[in-house]
């Protein structure tokens, strides 16, 4: 089970992250550079909005026909010689993949970048079985060497500086220290190339699965996905049930927007279309190809008419880059495999009540909804999840400070029904707080309100400004 935080852990980790100015600098610089690229490629591509509409329409329609499409995909995959395994939960998927690797006597497992394998905590399962599984995406390789998890679904090492990575390579490989990205990349290339040539078992995720042809699409920039799916004799692709789209002709609408929002590219460097294992006489490709199709809470999301829309997600990561919360605390503070706005939606559904507090970690500003390439109404779904969490069988256990704030808010809501009382209280507070104010702002407030002024100033209430009407 991947580490998933309880509310208190999140409260502590996010508090610590907010105080980490170095982390904030890295996140701000990476996110804003990213958003600049996106704005530029979007401006250069007039049909962007049309493609976005088409992608939204196709995906919504595909999700509405998911049962038929999964049956069609399964028979297409089998017709091409793939072995298909449906996993109800993470444990089933892990057991199948690790069991297969054991049965094949696999010694060198290579992994292409895949959030779904993070979701099922596959690396840990390989390690427990005594099998070496190497992450081959550069960012994933770096975080694996550090014994960490990715802090961003597209840019796993976004929380590290080049100096951090230089030091890591010196410590792990005993090479001379360098912080030049070119040299660090060359070092990783030569180490990983040797591993690839000896690999006997490969695992990647899947970006799209075409039901019509049984083709799996893997999108990436480095070549780690290509190598992981061509070099080893056994190849396993892991996909959530929501990855299926009906036809080949649907695909271009997604590819035209995915790279633009994810990385600010027009297309990623490599888009691999894998249809079955290698053919007679082929140099490349696996002898055996397995496709693990994972539910793990997704069909429960499908059953909820509001949540269902979240299955449209194509994991571009754009909502992370615009989120004011993510940009302050980074991915690790969420203590969940999927961080950021979309992570706060899927985590409670994939990992249960341990992540039930995450939908509350949002300002509901709507930036995520605006940028989402498949137009998921993330704030609406977050509100829905808050409602579910607050009215469910096991309401959240909040840290005391938050519980007090909630009680305070409830009292305020009652009091606010009486405008005269509110005005009188406002006047009273203004007089009471006056001695604590400097230049019109309160820097420290007493009691539970202190949680607010710990990180920001609060404008001093001004009695002479009456609300209109």
Partner 1 sequence: MAELHKIIANVKDALGSGAQNNSHDADAAAAIPVSPSAQRAELVSAFARELEEVGGKFLGIVTPAELTSRIVTLAGEIGAKSVAIGQGVASDMGAIGEALERADFRIVRTLPVADIERAPMRARVADADLGIADADFAIASTGTLAVVSNPQRPSSLTLLPPASLAIVQIDRIMPNLAAALAAIGPAGVAANRLTLITGPSRTADIEKRIVLGVHGPKSLHVIVVWPHDD
351-390: contacts with partner 1 (CB under 8 A): none
- Residues in contact with partner 1, shown as a per-residue x/- string from 194 to 213 under the rule CB under 8 A: --xx------------x-xx
What residues contact residue 196 under an 8 Å CB cut-off, 6+ apart? 110, 136, 227, 228, 231
* Nearest CB to partner 1, comparing residues 172 and 407: 172
Burial environment of residue 94 by CB neighbours within 10 A (0 to 12, 13 to 18, 19 or more)? buried
The separation between the first and the last C-alpha atoms of the chain, rounded to the nearest angstrom, is 55
Give the nearest distance from C-beta 132 to partner 1 in angstroms: 18
- Applying CB under 8 A, the span of 62-70, 99-107, 120-128, 434-442 interacting with partner 1 comes to 62-70
Is residue 85 within 8 A of residue 291, CB to CB? The reply is yes
- Applying CB under 8 A, the span of 245-253, 324-332, 440-448, 454-462 interacting with partner 1 comes to 245-253
Residue 300 binds partner 1 (CB under 8 A): yes
Residue 341 binds partner 1 (CB under 8 A): no
Q: Which of 271, 344, 349, 362 binds partner 1 (CB under 8 A)?
A: 271
102-161: contacts with partner 1 (CB under 8 A): 136-139, 142, 155-158, 160-161
Structure tokens at 429: 């507070």
- Applying CB under 8 A, the span of 243-251, 361-369, 386-394, 396-404 interacting with partner 1 comes to 243-251
* Nearest CB to partner 1, comparing residues 195 and 422: 195
Separation between Cα atoms, residue 177 and residue 182, nearest integer Å:
13
Q: Is the dihedral of CA 118, 119, 124, 128 positive or negative?
A: negative
Give the nearest distance from C-beta 143 to partner 1 in angstroms: 10
What residues contact residue 416 under an 8 Å CB cut-off, 6+ apart? 422
Q: Give the number of other Cβ atoms within 10 Å of residue 357's Cβ.
A: 25
- Applying CB under 8 A, the span of 16-24, 247-255, 323-331, 452-460 interacting with partner 1 comes to 247-255
Residue 286 binds partner 1 (CB under 8 A): no
Separation between Cα atoms, residue 380 and residue 388, nearest integer Å:
12
**Strand order across the 441-442 sheet:** 437-438, 441-442, 458-459
- Applying CB under 8 A, the span of 17-25, 262-270, 325-333, 362-370 interacting with partner 1 comes to 262-270
Residue 453 binds partner 1 (CB under 8 A): no
Residue 215 binds partner 1 (CB under 8 A): yes
Residue 30, CA distances (Å) to 167, 266, 343, 433 in order: 20, 19, 19, 40
Separation between Cα atoms, residue 376 and residue 246, nearest integer Å:
20
- Residues in contact with partner 1, shown as a per-residue x/- string from 24 to 53 under the rule CB under 8 A: --x--xx--xx-------------------
Q: Which of 18, 267, 306, 405 binds partner 1 (CB under 8 A)?
A: 267
Q: Which of 147, 281, 447, 467 binds partner 1 (CB under 8 A)?
A: 281
What residues contact residue 241 under an 8 Å CB cut-off, 6+ apart? 66, 70, 293, 294, 295, 298, 299
């Amino acid at each position: 089970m991947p580490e998933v935080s309880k509310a208190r852990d999140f409260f502590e980790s996010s508090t610590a992250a907010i105080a980490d100015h170095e982390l904030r600098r890295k996140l701000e610089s990476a996110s804003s550079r990213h958003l600049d690229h996106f704005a530029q490629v979007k401006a250069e591509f007039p049909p962007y909005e049309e493609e976005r509409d088409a992608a939204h329409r196709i995906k919504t329609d595909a999700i509405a026909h998911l049962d038929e499409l999964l049956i069609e995909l399964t028979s297409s995959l089998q017709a091409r010689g793939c072995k298909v395994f449906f996993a109800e939960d993470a444990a089933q998927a892990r057991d199948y993949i690790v069991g297969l690797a054991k049965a094949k006597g696999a010694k060198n497992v290579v992994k292409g970048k895949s959030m779904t394998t993070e979701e099922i905590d596959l690396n840990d399962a390989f390690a427990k079985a005594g099998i070496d599984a190497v992450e081959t995406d550069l960012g994933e390789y770096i975080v694996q060497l550090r014994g960490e998890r990715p802090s961003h679904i597209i840019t796993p090492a976004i929380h590290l500086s080049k100096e951090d990575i230089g030091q890591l390579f010196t410590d792990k490989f005993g090479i001379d220290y360098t912080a030049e990205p070119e040299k660090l990349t060359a070092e990783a290339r030569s180490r990983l190339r040797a591993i690839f040539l000896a690999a006997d078992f490969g695992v990647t995720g899947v970006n799209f699965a075409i039901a019509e042809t049984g083709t799996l699409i893997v999108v990436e920039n480095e070549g780690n996905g290509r190598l992981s799916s061509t070099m080893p004799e056994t190849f396993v692709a892991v996909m959530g049930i929501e990855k299926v789209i009906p036809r080949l002709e649907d695909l271009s609408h997604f590819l035209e927007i995915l790279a633009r929002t994810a990385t600010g590219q027009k297309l990623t460097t490599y888009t691999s279309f894998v249809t079955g294992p290698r053919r007679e006489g082929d140099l490349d490709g696996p002898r055996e190809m397995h496709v693990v199709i994972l539910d793990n809470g997704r069909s429960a999301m499908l059953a909820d008419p509001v949540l269902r829309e979240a299955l449209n997600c194509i994991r571009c990561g754009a909502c992370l880059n615009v989120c004011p919360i993510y940009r302050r605390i980074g991915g690790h503070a969420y203590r969940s495999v999927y961080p950021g706005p979309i992570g706060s939606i899927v985590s409670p559904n994939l990992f249960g009540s341990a992540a039930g507090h995450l939908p509350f970690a949002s300002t509901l500003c709507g930036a995520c909804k605006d940028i989402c390439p498949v137009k998921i109404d993330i704030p609406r779904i977050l509100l829905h999840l808050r409602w579910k969490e607050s009215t469910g069988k096991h309401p959240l256990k909040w840290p005391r400070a938050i519980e007090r704030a909630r009680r305070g808010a409830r009292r305020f809501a009652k009091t606010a029904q009486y405008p005269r009382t509110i005005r009188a209280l406002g006047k009273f507070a203004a007089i009471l707080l006056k001695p604590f104010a400097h230049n019109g702002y309160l820097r420290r407030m007493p009691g539970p309100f202190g949680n607010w002024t710990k990180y920001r100033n609060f404008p001093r209430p001004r009695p002479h400004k009456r609300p209109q009407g």
